[in-house]
């Protein structure tokens, strides 16, 4: 069966009316996403495996897993996104979790997963709707200290790929996150007690809380465009090095990426490249791929280095037949 890989940046600021600094760059990214969406629909996947982060909308410090398989999932309504249920094939999701447990992954599971804009933006842009295709949602902790090692993300993705090799399905893997960006996401060790309580206690943010959070992010984006802090600007040099490394799927170099490097050079949001690593590892476990970078640009009002990388191939078993 055939395999498709799509890794892409997301930014909730693209859903707002924030002033564009270079409209052509925004349009180029969105046009490329539309092209990739058409390719996904033409591919007609039997299953989409969506690796995505969370921004303290679905997962909290009361019990923060390094990664989690959703047996059922629903999109949140942050940033005005129309939420709603995903079409999760529960039996397959459970079989995947059982496979991972039997291969030395103590995987967490959820019968009521909440996924936020970290996954829903890309799913909607690519699939057209959250429930258009069967989706296996895989949460990757990218925002909460402590995060899983990059090597573990590669191993997790590869094992999910090996599990899916026996499913006789056309599979599209999506890695939604990164690249470099430094949004004003609070960190538990350096925030106020009131915000810390919100990061710890599992609760649905109120409309006022969502509005305040989103207003703060928009202000940070406007300040970045004006050359002011507190956010680091996207780092094109780091992004292009990562794109080259993930494109060649250099496992040694990927495993060597440390959180200290990401914090210093790519910003706090740069930890989301874990989703690219896991999705790429899953796809490479199934097929011989030659990923292509379809788009890269720095869009400061979106706070993010915006990249899109894709690949497609035939499962190795079919190639060997």
CB 237 within 8 A of CB 110: no
Residue 297, classed as helix, strand or coil, is strand
* Cβ partners under 8 Å of residue 150, min gap 6: 254, 255, 256, 257, 258, 274, 277
Whether the CB-CB separation of 279 and 156 falls below 8 Å is answered with no
Tokens of 71: 């047996």
Residues 6+ apart with CB under 8 A from 78: 12, 55, 57, 116, 117, 205, 210, 214
Task: Tell me the residue ranges of DSSP E strands in 78-134.
Answer: 84-85, 108-110, 113-115
User: Residues 205-218, buried b or exposed e (16+ Cβ, 10 A)?
Assistant: beeeebeebbeebb
Give the largest CA-CA distance in the chain.
Answer: 60
Rounded distance between C-alpha atoms, residue 54 and residue 253, angstroms: 25
Consecutive H or E run containing 224: helix 207-225
Cβ atoms within 10 Å, residue 253: 15
Which residues carry out catalysis?
A: 117, 181
CB atoms within 10 A of CB 100: 20
């Amino acid at each position: 069966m055939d395999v498709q890989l799509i890794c892409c940046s997301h930014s909730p600021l693209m859903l707002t009316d924030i002033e564009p600094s270079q409209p052509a760059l925004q349009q180029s990214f969105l046009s490329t996403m539309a092209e990739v969406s058409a390719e996904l629909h033409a591919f007609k996947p039997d299953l989409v495996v969506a690796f995505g982060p969370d921004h303290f909308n679905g997962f909290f410090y009361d019990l923060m897993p390094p990664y989690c398989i959703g047996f059922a999932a629903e999109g949140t309504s942050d940033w005005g996104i129309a939420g709603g249920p995903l079409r999760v094939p529960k039996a397959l999701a459970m079989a995947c979790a059982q496979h991972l447990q039997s291969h030395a992954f103590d995987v967490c599971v959820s019968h009521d997963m909440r996924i936020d804009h970290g996954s829903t933006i890309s799913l909607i842009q690519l699939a057209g709707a959250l429930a258009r295709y069967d989706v296996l949602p895989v949460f990757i902790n990218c925002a909460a200290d402590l995060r899983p090692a990059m090597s573990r993300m590669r191993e997790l993705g590869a094992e999910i790929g090996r599990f899916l090799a026996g499913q006789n399905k056309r599979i599209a893997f999506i890695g939604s996150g990164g690249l470099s960006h430094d949004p004003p996401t609070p960190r538990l060790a350096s925030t106020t007690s009131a915000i810390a309580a919100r990061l710890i206690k599992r609760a649905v943010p109120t409309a006022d809380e969502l509005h305040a959070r989103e207003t703060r992010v928009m202000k940070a984006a406007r300040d970045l465009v004006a050359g002011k802090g507190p956010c680091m600007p996207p780092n094109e040099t780091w992004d292009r090095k990562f794109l080259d490394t993930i494109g060649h799927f250099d496992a040694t170099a990927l495993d060597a990426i440390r959180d200290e490097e990401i914090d210093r050079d790519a910003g706090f949001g740069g930890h989301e490249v874990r989703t690219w690593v896991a999705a790429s590892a899953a796809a490479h476990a199934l097929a011989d791929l030659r990923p292509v970078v379809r788009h890269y640009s720095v869009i400061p009002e979106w706070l993010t280095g915006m990249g899109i990388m894709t690949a497609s191939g035939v499962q190795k078993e079919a190639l060997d037949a």
